[in-house]
Each structure stands twice: as structure tokens, then as C-alpha cells.
Amino acid sequence: EVQLVQSGPEVKKPGESLKITCKTSGYSFTSYWIGWVRQMPGKGPEWMGIIYPRDSETRYSPSFEGHVTISADKSTNTAYLHWSSLEASDTAVYYCGKVYGGTYYLFDFWGQGTLVTVSS
Amino acid sequence: DIVMIQSPDSLAVSLGERATINCESSQSVLYSSNNKNHLAWYQQKPGQPPKLLISWASTRESGVPDRFSGSGSGTDFTLTISSLQAEDVALYYCQQYFVSPGTFGQGTKVEIK
């Protein structure tokens, strides 16, 4: 059974750094892209970017490139989403997702979500 | 970016009746090389992640009830719930996965009348 389990909710101040995690099981981690989606309160999902864990190739949405970093650890089958300097507008639920084979932008399995709250 | 527009924003349907949601993309998501539409439908219930219902515009994912069906091609697509059940109350999103970034519609809320 494919499972993606994300780290717990976070409350941070503007300017702080943060890394959230997505631990996977039940499939070959290095054979599929894995990525992240943002969902702001009351809004639709937004595709942020993906990584191919076998060689760490990444692809980002222009809206997020330079503001977040996606990484992966093959030894623990875990993907990461990192901010070096959070902004209040980063407040949202973040989901990790396994990419549907043969595509780049479609997720077939999702984590449960991590609520990130950024407030002074 | 490809813009995805769903209609209506919300709809209320009686139990057992048909619910229809439309999705229009600002450019075609039909890939001519394989004649496949790169269009998906998701269901999202409160406090849960989106669940993939349909890919390639009309292919139901494993375990999805057959009352859910997708149709359309090019820029115009439809999700139909043939006989609404109480457990179908949710938000529904379309998404194009033809080009980066994979953009979503704004969502359609389905409720019981």
C-alpha cells in the first residue's frame, strides 16, 4: 500500500526557516517523481514543484522557484520542502504527492497535509 | 499558465439525482502524439487531501465508483455524478497536467438539496 506521511503542523514567525517532511512507503521511491502542492485557506491547490529522487533533478513552478527548495533522501525514502525565510503569505496547507507514472504534474497519492502558519 | 475555470462554483442536488460540473481550459490539453487529454478530476472532503478520481479526462482510478464519469476533449470537460450519494458531498477540482505548472480549477462545491 502506497503511503505518504507528512510531519506535523508548524507555527513560525516571518523570516524564520522551516523544513517539512514527507516519508513514503509501499512503492519504489527512486522510480517516481514526488512533489509538493500548496493550498491556501479557501483556495484551490497550486502545483509547486517536483523532484526525481534517483538523481535529484528538480522542476519548479515559476511562482515558487527561488522561494522554496525541494529535496529528497533516497536512504530514508523521504522528500522535503524547505524555506530559508518564511513570509506571512506562506500560511497554507502543504501536501506532498507521488507523481503519476509517465506525467510530471499529476499526483495519484497524497500525504495528509502539513499546516504551516506564519505569524508575528 | 493555463487557466482552468470551473462552473458552477457550487450546486445542490437531491440524493439520487445527477450532478454535472464543467471545466474549461484556456488552451487545449489534448496531446496530439497520443490523442490523450491531460485532464484530471479530484474530490476533496474537509480536512483531507484531494483524492484522484479520474485521469486522462475519462479514466476512473481504481476503486472509484462507476457513478463518477468524465468526458470532454480539447478545452471543455465535464465530471458527472450519475446518482448523488451522501458521501459525495465534497469539493471537486479539475487539473490540467499538460504543461507546467499543473494548474487547478477554483473548485466546485457539491451539496445535498
Q: Concatenate the DSSP letters of all residues of B20-37 into one string.
A: EEEEEESS--EETTTTEE
Average pLDDT over residues B80-96: 98
Work out the percent of chain A whose per-residue pLDDT is above 90.
Answer: 96
Q: Please indicate if any CB of chain A lies within 8 Å of the CB of B105.
A: yes
What cell numbers appear for B18 in the block? Answer: 445527477
Task: Check CB contact under 8 Å for A108 and B105.
Answer: no
Q: Which of A62, A95, A107 sits opposite B52 (nearest CB)?
A: A107
The pLDDT assigned to B34 comes to: 87
Question: How does the average pLDDT of chain B come out, rounded?
Answer: 97
Average pLDDT over residues B79-93: 98
Q: Which of A44, A108, A111 sits opposite B52 (nearest CB)?
A: A108
Question: Chain B residue closest to A114 (CA)?
Answer: B49
Distance CA A48, CA A81 (A): 10
Q: Please indicate if any CB of chain A lies within 8 Å of the CB of B101.
A: yes
The pLDDT assigned to A46 comes to: 96
- State yes or no: pLDDT of A104 exceeds 90: no
The pLDDT assigned to A101 comes to: 86
- State yes or no: pLDDT of B96 exceeds 90: yes
- State yes or no: pLDDT of A102 exceeds 90: no
- More confident call, A68 vs A42: A68
Q: Which of A45, A108, A113 sits opposite B104 (nearest CB)?
A: A45
Using CB atoms within 10 Å of the CB of residue B79, give its burial: 0 to 12 exposed, 13 to 18 middle, 19+ buried. Answer: buried
Q: Please indicate if any CB of chain B lies within 8 Å of the CB of A107.
A: yes
Q: Which of B93, B97, B107 sits opposite A106 (nearest CB)?
A: B97
Residue B26 contacts residue B3 (beta carbons within 8 Å):
yes
Q: How does residue B57 score in pLDDT terms, banded at 50, 70 and 90?
A: very high
Q: Best mutation site among A96, A106, A110 for testing chain B: the one with the most B CBs within 10 Å? A: A106
Strand order in the sheet with B39-44: B10-13, B108-112, B90-96, B39-44, B51-55, B59-60
Question: How does the average pLDDT of chain A come out, rounded?
Answer: 96
Average pLDDT over residues A22-51: 96
Q: How does residue B110 score in pLDDT terms, banded at 50, 70 and 90?
A: very high
- State yes or no: pLDDT of A103 exceeds 90: no
